[in-house]
Amino acid sequence: MESGEIRALLERAWAAERGQRFEEAEKLFAKASSGRPQDPQLKTFHAGALAKLGRYTEAIAELESVLRAAPSNIAALKWLAVLYKRTSRLNEAIATQEKVVSLDPRDVAGLNQLATMLLESNRFEDAAATLEKLATLHPDEQGYRATLATIYWRLNNADRAIEAQRAEVQLDPANAAARSTLFDYLLFFHRYEELSALTESPKPAEFEARIKALRALGRFTEADQTLLQWLQSDPGNPTTCCYTAEMSLELGEIEGANLHFRTALIFGDTTAAAYLGCVNTGSDWPPGSQEFERMESLLDNPDAAPRDLYQLHLALGACCEKVEEYEQAIAHFDEANQIVFDGLNATRPFAISSIEAQFSQAHGRYVANTAAANESDLPVLVIGMIRSGTSLVEQILASHPNVAGAGEQFYWSERPESGAEAYLELLRSFGPNAKRVVDKMPGNFLRAGEIHRRLPNGRFIHIRRHPVDTCLSMWSTYFESPPPFAGSRRNLVEMYRLYLKVMDEWRAVLPPETLLEIDYEDLVADKESVIRRLMAFCGLDWSDACLHPELRNGRVWTPSHTRVRQPIDTTRVARWKRFEPWLGEFRELLPENQPR
């Protein structure tokens, strides 16, 4: 076929495409291609027309024939990568797109397409490498570094995530959304000092992040001052009322907290955090009450944020449990946890192997025994599973005049290379004159042996609780940042079993004078006897104040801040029995179901 005739066919085909007459265009491209069956460009045009008609198999076959003859035909490679992706052949799509960018390393669209494919296949490190190239090619282009930060967050790479998001903010310092995301990363990775420095002169939208950072650092006076600034600048904001309530809770002012939560509802009766706060501080709203029905109605709001739905379901579940409507209660708790699971699974899916790897690394450092040791006996580390009673033990010990509480410190999970001296300096900041300082980070059970190598005279208190009560407590408790294994009964069971295995390992190697194990059930049933054991183990003289930790002055900033302000009692023992018909996989942890 002559060139002029082929050109005329192509012009007619392109005109048909512009007019959305795709079947006509395909026939014209086919005719032109048949006139020169070896021409790769004409075959590629025809493949594109087939693709627009949804005839992907034929289009792919046409393109593959082109590439057999001309493996570096970039137009055919681009089309083929797209069609492999459309037909769910993602690995082949990625391999093909990698050829595209190897032929043209500065092809921005090609690199973007490759990064998208790599993300879809969960190849996050490869996606990050591709986006790093894009960011280098276009250093002033917004968006690349924000996506990079998200990827590094999913990879749990704190330094790279924060570095990328900082770079994104530097491109547009006035971008409030980018700054807010940076604050989120700093909070998530517990970089509280950095966040407090960034928000030293906070804008109205930055008060909340600053307060969270200052509280985590134990700088409560500054946190309260910031809250006062926020209240003065926006007195009718229900969120500021909730924070005022939280401050009251931390100080043990339960009735005051309830009043502030109720005030938040006056300013905004859709504030989920205020409903949950009211329920947790004593409001009785049984099924059928006006407030209960209002919470139920908010569940139907199509614009409700997942966090709001999470809080509402927990509040509704707690209301039902108070009136012994256990089936309805567990249904709401289940809904709350499904929301948590969906959020975690979409961004950072849980794998028990990642926790096993943390233990393996800590155990390796314990065996290597190369770190310098410090002989200080200042630290008391309270360890165990989340919701096992670690907050109660800390409150008991911190009620002693010679003991300070440091809350939950992430030091050993995030800064183990900084060594014992820096850790002791951190603890002393909570009690400069204290004989003992308590770090109640439950997850330190993963690395207890490693910490012992660094601090051979430090003391570990391992508090155990009935496994199903522990899991059920996690199931019905609100977490600002849920642990990675939250939201799934199966994940909780796997995590609990790993916890038992890890403690078996450390129990076999830790000297008995450094590890005391107590049971929550014994502590609440026979408190004086167990507390005397705690005092003796920590080398402390007896203090009657330790019998009444609910009277202790001081801030409590954990999910247990309401519970530990109540006298020690047995009301939470064997709670699981009320929910026995609906335990599901938690039933596997019952003692009678354990292997003998």
Report whether 182 contacts 152 (CB < 8 A).
Answer: no
Q: Residue 81 is encoded by which pair of tokens?
A: 């990568």
Whether residue 269 is predicted with pLDDT greater than 90 in this model: the reply is no
Domains: count for the chain: 3
Tell me what pLDDT residue 583 has: 96
135 domain-assigned: no
Residue 451 shares a structural domain with residue 558: yes
Residue 338 shares a structural domain with residue 375: no
Q: Determine the structural domain holding residue 56 and report its residue range.
A: 3-104
Q: How many residues does the chain have?
A: 596
Summarised one tens digit per residue, pLDDT across range 304-317 is 999 999 999 999 99
How would you class 444 by CB atoms within 10 Å of its CB: exposed for 0-12, middle for 13-18, buried for 19 or more? buried
Question: CATH no. for residue 432?
Answer: 3.40.50.300
**Boundary-marking domain end, from 104, 135, 159:** 104
209 domain-assigned: no
Tell me what pLDDT residue 160 has: 94
Residue 435 shares a structural domain with residue 555: yes
Tell me what pLDDT residue 76 has: 93
Tell me what pLDDT residue 220 has: 87
Residue 474 shares a structural domain with residue 536: yes
Residue 377 shares a structural domain with residue 446: yes
| Choice among 216-220, 323-327, 469-473, 541-545 with the minimum mean pLDDT | 216-220
Question: CATH no. for residue 62?
Answer: 1.25.40.10
114 dihedral zone (left: phi>0; alpha: psi -120 to 50; beta): alpha
**Boundary-marking domain end, from 61, 80, 104:** 104
* 480-492 mean pLDDT: 94
Report whether 388 contacts 470 (CB < 8 A).
Answer: yes
399 domain-assigned: yes
- HSE of 221 in the Cβ direction (CA atoms, 13 Å)? 0
Question: CATH no. for residue 327?
Answer: 1.25.40
Whether residue 596 is predicted with pLDDT greater than 70 in this model: the reply is no
187-207 exposure pattern, b = at least 16 Cβ within 10 A, e = fewer: bebbbbebbbebbeebeeebb
Whether residue 328 is predicted with pLDDT greater than 80 in this model: the reply is yes
Q: Residue 61 is encoded by which pair of tokens?
A: 């076959």
563-583 exposure pattern, b = at least 16 Cβ within 10 A, e = fewer: bbbeebeeebeeebeebeeeb
Residue 321 shares a structural domain with residue 376: no
Residue 138 — pLDDT band, cuts 50, 70, 90? confident
Residue 30 shares a structural domain with residue 76: yes
Summarised one tens digit per residue, pLDDT across range 8-34 is 989 999 999 899 999 999 999 898 888
Tell me what pLDDT residue 238 has: 93
Residue 567 shares a structural domain with residue 438: yes
Residue 20 shares a structural domain with residue 98: yes
pLDDT above 90 covers a percentage of the chain that reads 76
588 domain-assigned: yes
Residue 589 — pLDDT band, cuts 50, 70, 90? very high
**Boundary-marking domain end, from 41, 76, 104:** 104
Tell me what pLDDT residue 595 has: 65
86 domain-assigned: yes
Distance between CA atoms of residues 103 and 255, nearest Å: 69
Tally of CB atoms within 10 A around 336 = 24
Whether residue 482 is predicted with pLDDT greater than 80 in this model: the reply is yes
CA distances from 242 to 207, 330, 336, 559 (A): 13, 26, 20, 15
Residue 274 shares a structural domain with residue 420: no
242 domain-assigned: no
Report whether 151 contacts 127 (CB < 8 A).
Answer: yes
Tell me what pLDDT residue 115 has: 92
Nearest to 333 by CA among 497, 559, 579: 579
Residue 269 shares a structural domain with residue 318: yes
440 domain-assigned: yes
Which ranges in 139-205 belong to alpha helices (H)? 144-154, 158-171, 176-188, 192-198
Nearest to 391 by CA among 512, 520, 530, 571: 520
Whether residue 280 is predicted with pLDDT greater than 90 in this model: the reply is yes
Give the β-pairing of 436-439 and 403-405. parallel
Angle (nearest 5°) at CA 178 between 174 and 184 = 130
Whether residue 70 is predicted with pLDDT greater than 70 in this model: the reply is yes
282 domain-assigned: yes
Tell me what pLDDT residue 249 has: 86
Residue 431 — pLDDT band, cuts 50, 70, 90? very high
Residue 282 shares a structural domain with residue 392: no
Whether residue 564 is predicted with pLDDT greater than 90 in this model: the reply is no
